Structure 1
Amino acid sequence: MFLRLLYLLTVRLFGWLTLLARGDTSKEAEILVLRHEVAVPRRQVSRRQPDGADRAPLAALARLLPTRLRLHRAAWS
């Protein structure tokens, strides 16, 4: 149990250090991508796939994200 707590604290600490090292543009792009990913399902209650108007801003903003974060976002095909 102690090792798990130590591991979680270490991971969290390195996550904070990584966040401090990132630029403001990267952080703002990540926030915009996440907000858009949340807004799309709210508008599309009955249908599952987003249309081109939803994919375009998401794709443009996602290109501003670091590669590591770009791999974790929702993938719509």
Structure 2
Amino acid sequence: MTRHPTNSRATQQTRNLPITLGERVRRFRFLIRDRDTKFTAAFDTVFTTDDIDIVRTPVRTPVANAFAERRVGTVRRECLDHLLILGEQHATAVLTDYIDHYNHHRPHRSLQQQAPLSTGTSPPPEPGTSTVRHDRLGGLIHEYRQTA
């Protein structure tokens, strides 16, 4: 049997993941992946030894992972495609700030233009009140709030 070089490389990188994450690896319960042949039994074993269940998407169902694909696409289009990420700490800081914006301020069409974790409907702007702009991610994203 000929071993594909990327299989052993990917498996080795996967073995390094729990070491890199340390105690944070315990927060993960599931790994959702497709049925690509690059995911070998050795790859799966790395996760199952840390009590992470492997969930494979169904065969020939491209929409099975649609929610995750949509979320990843949104993060890329609105944030990551506009920034040069300089390392893991920078990526963590950028994504933390973006996730806070996404969940607390960004309007969502399916939620009647409210943020997922907002406290309720925001009142319409009153005439004569001023608006304050709050820049996030170095001015990439702008949030606007009414002043009292």
Q: Shorter-chain TM-score: what band? A: 0.3 to 0.5
Which is greater in Rg? 2
Which of the pair is proportionally richer in strand?
Answer: 2
Which of the pair is proportionally richer in helix?
Answer: 1
Give the structure-1-normalised TM-score.
Answer: 0.38
Give the structure-2-normalised TM-score.
Answer: 0.23
